[in-house]
Amino acid sequence: MTNTLGIDKPAAATRVVVAMSGGVDSSATAALLKEQGFDVVGVTLQLYDVGEAACRPNTCCAGKDIHDARAVADALGIPHYVLDFESVFRRDVIEGFARSYVAGETPIPCVLCNQTVKFRDLLGVARDLGADALATGHYVRRRMGDEGAELLRGADPARDQSYFLFATTRQQLDFLRFPLGGMLSKDETRAIAARHRLPVAGKRDSQDICFVPDGDYAALVSGLHPDSAQPGEIVDASGQVLGRHPGIIHYTIGQRKGLGLGGGPPLYVLALDVAGRRVVVGPRDALNRARVMVRDVNWLGGPETELRVEVRVRSTRPPAPALLRRLADDRAEVTLDRPEQGIAPGQACVFYQGERVLGGGWIVSSHADAAVSREGD
């Protein structure tokens, strides 16, 4: 007897650990599975110091989120555990985020968190608790294909979170479930929470990075790496000095505001020269880029050599048509049909074929493009 999660057991005999963050999505996930008769266990991870986190609208607040998760578990009548993963989160996510910024990249800590703490460590915890599956509140879908579990975009394009889950491995997908992936709107999710009278039914979504509640990334990075905030020159593409800056950690590719260059035509950050401590600026058209080199690719499908695909180079961008070329050593070359602007090293490039996620990897600095391409030829 296969249940609604595709597991060959009655629902009552199927233990599902739910990653409960204290938000409405994970809470509705737990409620939905409980409603369907599964043996549900809630687990919440304490990821950073609850005493240091400031509570503001639209941000995570560790203490309140843990309290909310516990209140939801009590309302549903399910066991709930809070696990201290602060040291692991600091090592694998916060310090990784800071190192990436120091290297002149624009990191995505949510991907690092999913890749390490949630889908590596929490998955292990779920197995230790005797679970048959780990469920999360992500808006993605999972289906069984000819070669095993496949990852699909969420049914609601506005809520699709597949970009942030590209690093999920095939082995992890075998164990993971995403009950909200087929929801067509957030209203459906809130309706589940309201039906079960959960205290978080009206809770607002978190929008900022959980461990930087005030949005000051540079302060976090300089605190961990004091030498990173060294001043330098702002130059144009020819090397002409246009001004000075207080440290490259204050800038990202595509940035226009805050350059302090006075009048004249608008200028944008084109590149960050870490070794030379220079911020390279230029006109908007100079941001156009059609060729993207990608490292550390996680393949969930994809070509042996080349394949026409769609790719997403930012979480906020729609997928764009491109040619994907597979290289050696988990690298890939992407050639976009139309150039895009603001493609930044450290961001993810995720590959799609229709609704299926074929994988993705990390965008390499344009300064390394030529070398990477020669190695793959």
Question: In which domain, by residue range, is 235 found?
Answer: 230-286
What is the greatest pairwise CA distance in the chain? 71
| CB atoms near residue 181 (< 10 Å) | 24
Do both 257 and 172 map to the same domain? no
Q: Is residue 171 part of a domain?
A: yes
Contacts of 345 (CB under 8 A, 6+ apart): 104, 105, 106, 253, 362, 363, 364, 365, 366
Whether residues 274 and 297 fall in one domain: no
Both 298 and 267 in one domain: the answer is no
Query: Is residue 201 assigned to a domain?
Result: no
Asked about 210 being catalytic, the answer comes back as yes
Q: Is the pLDDT of residue 55 over 60?
A: no
Q: Is residue 274 located within the same domain as residue 311?
A: no
The question of whether 61 is a catalytic residue gets the answer no
Is the domain of 322 the same as that of 239? no
Instruction: Please check whether residues 120 and 258 belong to one and the same domain.
Output: no
What confidence tens digit (pLDDT) does each residue in 207-253 have? Answer: 667 777 677 788 888 888 888 888 999 999 999 999 999 999 999 99
Q: pLDDT-derived band of residue 62, with 50, 70 and 90 as boundaries?
A: low
Spot the catalytic one: 55, 61, 110, 113: 113
User: In terms of domains, do 263 and 292 share one?
Assistant: no
Give the total number of structural domains in the chain. Answer: 3
- Would you state the pLDDT for residue 115? 86
CA distances from 99 to 165, 175, 282, 363 (A): 21, 31, 26, 15
Strands (DSSP E) along the chain, which ranges? 15-19, 39-46, 80-84, 133-135, 140-145, 148-153, 176-177, 232-236, 241-245, 268-273, 278-282, 289-299, 306-312, 320-327, 331-340, 348-353, 356-363
Domain boundary among 195, 220, 245: 195
60, 61, 210, 349: the catalytic one is 210
* 131 lies in the same domain as 110: yes
What tens digit of pLDDT does each residue of 256-271 get? 988 988 778 899 999 9
- The mean pLDDT value for 138-161 works out to 93
Q: In this structure, are 247 and 265 located in the same domain?
A: yes
Considering the domain architecture, whether residues 282 and 362 belong to the same structural domain is answered as: no
Q: Does residue 94 lie within any of the structural domains?
A: yes
pLDDT in tens, 155-172: 999 999 999 999 999 999
Question: What local confidence, expressed as pLDDT, does residue 174 receive?
Answer: 95
In the numeric block, which tokens belong to residue 43? 């687990």
Given a cut of 50, whether residue 368 has pLDDT beyond it is no
As a whole number, the mean pLDDT across the chain is 88
247/297 same-domain check = no
What CATH code is carried by the domain that includes residue 323?
Answer: 2.40.30.10
CATH of the domain at 26: 3.40.50.620
Q: Can you give the pLDDT at residue 178?
A: 97
Interatomic CA distance for residues 229 and 113, integer angstroms: 25
Any domain includes 41: yes
Answer yes or no: do 26 and 139 share one domain: yes
Q: Which of 286, 316, 334 is the last residue of a domain?
A: 286
Say if pTM beats, i.e. exceeds, 0.85: yes
Taking CA 365 as the corner, what is the angle to CA 273 and CA 334, rounded to the nearest 5 degrees? 155
Q: Is 340 exposed, middle or buried (0-12, 13-18, 19+ CB in 10 A)?
A: middle
